[in-house]
Amino acid sequence: MSTLDASWLPLSPGERAVAIEVLVHGPLSRAELARRLNLSAGSLTRLTKPLIESGLLVEKGTEGAASAEVRQGRPSQPLDMVAESRLFIGFKITEDMVYGVVTTLRSDIMARDERPLTTHEPAAVIDLLREMTQEFTRAHPRAAGIGIGVGAGVRDRSVVIRSPFLDWDEVPLAELVEEWTGLPTVVENDVAALVEAECWFGAGRGLDRFAVLTIGAGLGYGLVSGGRRVVSSEDGLSLGRGRHWMVDPHGPLTPYGERGSAVSLLTIPSIRYQLHAATGREMTYEEILGLAADGEPMAARVVDEAARALGTIVSQIANFAMPQKILLAGEGVGLVDVAGAAVEEAILANRHPQADKVNLETKVSDFHDWARGAAVLAIQVLVLGSA
């Protein structure tokens, strides 16, 4: 096994296409791969041979119950990725915590950890990352790379341009972490990483056009088109995104966004702020959702207004970005469980009746999911070299 250590890094374009297809779309026979990639059967034998020899792929015996369909002819020999042949570490840095996960090549989480962040000094943060990495590698020595997600603008998947909440400015994070851990490191905006992860292994798997809207302390938005994430100059503005998505000029004003903006209507702090202003009580987001579900008028009004705002934004995404699917993620999507009908209603009001129904998926995600997204980015860049 130690022979493969550096051998499968330089993949030819053909090999990379095969590897990605198998990685993303599960076990596939050579014949099936040939059809999907528009290659001849002969080419697939050629392309898969070195991948199997290097240990990245294995011939998965037909023992699986998945091959239930009994067909004539020689049975296909599904190829699968040895997901555990390389492990990846993903981190999500928030204002007061660092979340970390260890994942397989297929981004299954093998371990997780979280530590409080007491200072924002780059040196201290890096030291914490080093410490967590050491802990991880002790249990999982096969770790091959690190991905880090930050709510900030990132250049060249390496340098944090500016982070308001960390008060960082031009911090060459990837370089520093590489130096201290010895592992190749990729840094990216947190929303961007989550979008890439969902695009490869999550809700956007195999889709050509795909949008992600995250609801949490702020709003996040990412778009995939042609199977690739659209890089936008707004990626860095994570905390500012949606402050100017005006939904209702007569809507509420909060300290977090413009009056009636998506941020003022929809984010967790804004909803808590509105209920605090109305009732004088401090309540958690979950408490508010619970009250709204029980029909408490104040909470129900705010939550309902938020749901309508969400539906409006979703329909705008559907109308103008025209994705095949929209994923709602983040800590604030519980809203949809409580007021899904209002969301649906607002979407329908803003869509042409003959247009395709909006394909909406909701995924509750915690901070470890954000860390997992960063790990996926490391997989993409370090293993498959998809720049």
The footprint of DNA (CB under 7 A) covers 12-14, 29-32, 38-48, 62, 70-78
CB of 26 to DNA, least distance (A): 14
19 contact choice in DNA, a second copy, none (CB below 5 to 8 Å, kind-dependent): none
Residue closer to a second copy, measured from CB, 104 or 163:
163
CB of 9 to a second copy, least distance (A): 22
From 165, 161, 187, select the one nearest 174 (Cα to Cα): 187
Residue closer to a second copy, measured from CB, 141 or 226:
226
The CA angle 254-257-260, to the nearest 5 degrees, is 75
CB of 77 to DNA, least distance (A): 3
CB of 340 to DNA, least distance (A): 42
7 contact choice in a second copy, DNA, none (CB below 5 to 8 Å, kind-dependent): none
The pair phi, psi for residue 140, each rounded to 5°, is: -130, 85
Residue closer to a second copy, measured from CB, 243 or 272:
243
246 contact choice in a second copy, DNA, none (CB below 5 to 8 Å, kind-dependent): a second copy
Which residues here bind a second copy, judged by CB under 8 A?
209, 211, 221, 223, 225-226, 228, 230, 232-234, 237, 240-241, 243-246, 312, 315-317, 319-322, 349-356
72 contact choice in a second copy, DNA, none (CB below 5 to 8 Å, kind-dependent): DNA
134 contact choice in a second copy, DNA, none (CB below 5 to 8 Å, kind-dependent): none
CB of 46 to DNA, least distance (A): 6
